[in-house]
Structure 1
Amino acid sequence: MNLIEAIIIAIVEGITEYLPVSSTGHMIIASSFMGIEKEEFTKLFEVAIQLGAILAVVVLYWNKFIDPIKTGKLKFYFKLLVGVIPALLLGFLFSDKIDELLESPTTVAISLLVGGVILLFIDKAFQRPKIHSEREITYGKSFLTGLWQCIAMIPGVSRSAASIIGGMQQGLSRSAAAEFSFFLAVPTMAAATLYSLFLKKWDIAGVEHKGYELITQSSDNMIAFAVGNIVAFIVAILAIKFFINYLKKYGFKIFGWYRIIVGIILLILLSQGVIG
């Protein structure tokens, strides 16, 4: 992976991480189109690039994250802790299986297609929300939303889509579900990123390395990692602002059609051997 490819992947991550279209799926598609070899650093980069996207949420919702610390009222953080437990447990138990799925564009295509059909009907399915802010969300609803989020371990499903739908199923409004999805993304993605950097063992020619060792073993890797996260941070801020404003006015239908179209195109390209 060269620097230009890293920047393109970072742009894809920044745009798609918080939209209900699957960032992982789009990074897999982008990598396939560019012919990037699925070496260990590339796999690590596609996870660790989330650091920039995480920071974007913290910066945009700074008061939300800092006020509980100032006031000592940490209920907000306890909700996020409860919500992230399912993903932590399942992610740890099925890490190897998830890694196998991450290499499958076919899985991405099918997930995009099925998820797109679901998004076409989500707005009509949940028309009478009862909860309009994070303060009204209970620990139980946090946990159940976190369970929904686990579906996104299948590439192409979209963590954002799964957690937003889960939130709406728990009675949250579209915007409240989207914002809680952003909040829940911070510990979820941080855990996945830290695991990939410091705990997961990456095999290179039979020798195991920690993620941070892969990054620091060459200046090219360090530059790609740093620039990629900066780009992902900037693009994610713009994407989040767009998404919240659009969602309040128009809902999910356009994202559903987008997923369906991309899924069909991807299946055609796979069947023709254009990408693999």
Structure 2
Amino acid sequence: MNDYPISVLLGTVEGLTEFLPVSSTAHLRIAEALLHLDLADPYWKMYTVVIQLGAILALLSLFTGRIIDFFRTFPKGETGDRTIWNHPISLTAIAFLVTAIPSFLLAKTIGKHLESITVIAWALLIGGVAMWAIDWWSARRESPTKDVEQMSVWQAVWIGAFQVLSAVFPGTSRSMSTISSGQLAGLTRGASLEFSFLVSIPVMVAATGYDLLKSLHPKQIAGEPAIAPLVITTHGWIILVIGLIVSFIVALGVVEWFLIWVRKHGFVPFAIYRIILGIILLVFGADLVGG
């Protein structure tokens, strides 16, 4: 297949799955395997990092007004009962730090698991079962935290800690980790989803920036090898831009739709999808990656 439709397809996969609780990493790895792309190729490794920027920009464009409101009301919050420690901006920073520090220290472990179809399959399956059970349980109880303005520090720490699972085990899904852990901590579906979006901004920016920095200065980052070439051809840049734009447009629509859907229907359909996909990968995964 020509590189241009491949870029459109991968950009679509990234935009569709980045903020849904189904794991964008898993779907990009599956797509790359089906398209017979070389997973060890430095360019395509870098490509999958860069197109995440499109999804990040889409989220930022949708949440700009909300983020401005948070900064405007810092530190007392909209209702005047927040402090510098439990304002949504502070809670987002706390969750980010709780996620980022262990993830950085476990970087080599993450690298070993990143391309394993078996690990991805089990993460999808186990995560799907957990998400289904948690959503069922949460829907049958009164959630005390109905808005991110009501969250506590311990809830932010709890959610940040769970996000580490998605970093270590690709296929878990960062979105699923934050949403399900939020529900366990007493957040409603809507509050869990909003905080998931908020904390994803610094997490994705840091993760993407770290991977790009490794590409440009590999010897300066934990002694790891480069994941991208220092020189990219004009053709390569065009492919990157196509993926970036497609990812942005698709993610823009997905986030708006997801916000509406979840409040009415919950997460069970996504859990079922994860379980089915995980089973398929466990059965046919070896054939998918060529043995």
Question: TM-score by structure 2 length?
Answer: 0.86
Is this contact kept in 1: 2:16–2:250, CA < 8 A?
A: yes
Q: Aligned-pair distance for 1:222?
A: 1.8
Corresponding residue number in structure 1 for 2:79: none
In the TM superposition, 1:102-141 aligns within 5 A as 102-126=114-138, 127-141=141-155
1:150 partner amino acid: V
3-state SS, counterpart of residue 27 of structure 1: helix
Q: How much identity, in percent, do the aligned residues show?
A: 34
Is this contact kept in 2: 1:40–1:202, CA < 8 A?
A: no
Q: Aligned-pair distance for 1:182?
A: 0.7
1:235 aligns with 2:237: no
Which structure 1 residue ranges, 4+ long, deviate > 6 Å from structure 2? none
Structure 1 CA distance, aligned partners of 2:136 and 2:12? 32
Corresponding residue number in structure 1 for 2:66: 64
Structure 2 CA distance, aligned partners of 1:85 and 1:152? 15
1:60 partner amino acid: L
In the TM superposition, 1:186-265 aligns within 5 A as 186-199=201-214, 209=226, 214=230, 216-265=231-280
Q: Aligned-pair distance for 1:87?
A: 2.1
Compared CA separation, residues 171 and 231, structure 1 to 2 (3 A): same
Compared CA separation, residues 197 and 240, structure 1 to 2 (3 A): same
Is this contact kept in 2: 1:148–1:162, CA < 8 A?
A: yes
Deviations 1:238-264 (A, max 9, x none): 111221211111111111111111111
**Alignment counterpart, residue 52 of structure 1, candidates 41, 54, 58:** 54
Is this contact kept in 1: 2:46–2:227, CA < 8 A?
A: no
1:5 aligns with 2:6: yes
Is this contact kept in 1: 2:43–2:227, CA < 8 A?
A: no
1:37 aligns with 2:38: yes
Structure 1 CA distance, aligned partners of 2:18 and 2:36? 22
Structure 2 CA distance, aligned partners of 1:82 and 1:134? 14
**Alignment counterpart, residue 143 of structure 1, candidates 136, 157, 160:** 157
Structure 2 CA distance, aligned partners of 1:252 and 1:228? 28
In the TM superposition, 1:174-185 aligns within 5 A as 174-185=189-200
1:146 partner amino acid: G
Runs (5+) with no aligned partner, structure 2: 76-83
Is this contact kept in 2: 1:14–1:239, CA < 8 A?
A: yes
Q: Aligned-pair distance for 1:77?
A: 2.5
1:79 aligns with 2:94: no
3-state SS, counterpart of residue 142 of structure 2: coil
Compared CA separation, residues 42 and 85, structure 1 to 2 (3 A): same
Structure 2 CA distance, aligned partners of 1:210 and 1:254? 35
Q: Aligned-pair distance for 1:202?
A: 5.3
Structure 2 CA distance, aligned partners of 1:123 and 1:164? 9
3-state SS, counterpart of residue 167 of structure 1: helix
Is this contact kept in 2: 1:48–1:196, CA < 8 A?
A: no
Question: TM-score by structure 1 length?
Answer: 0.90
Compared CA separation, residues 169 and 208, structure 1 to 2 (3 A): closer
3-state SS, counterpart of residue 61 of structure 1: helix
Q: Aligned-pair distance for 1:48?
A: 2.4
Query: More displaced, 3-12 or 253-262?
Result: 3-12
**Alignment counterpart, residue 97 of structure 1, candidates 99, 106, 109:** 109
Compared CA separation, residues 221 and 163, structure 1 to 2 (3 A): same
Is this contact kept in 1: 2:51–2:244, CA < 8 A?
A: yes
Structure 2 CA distance, aligned partners of 1:122 and 1:264? 20
Runs (5+) with no aligned partner, structure 1: none
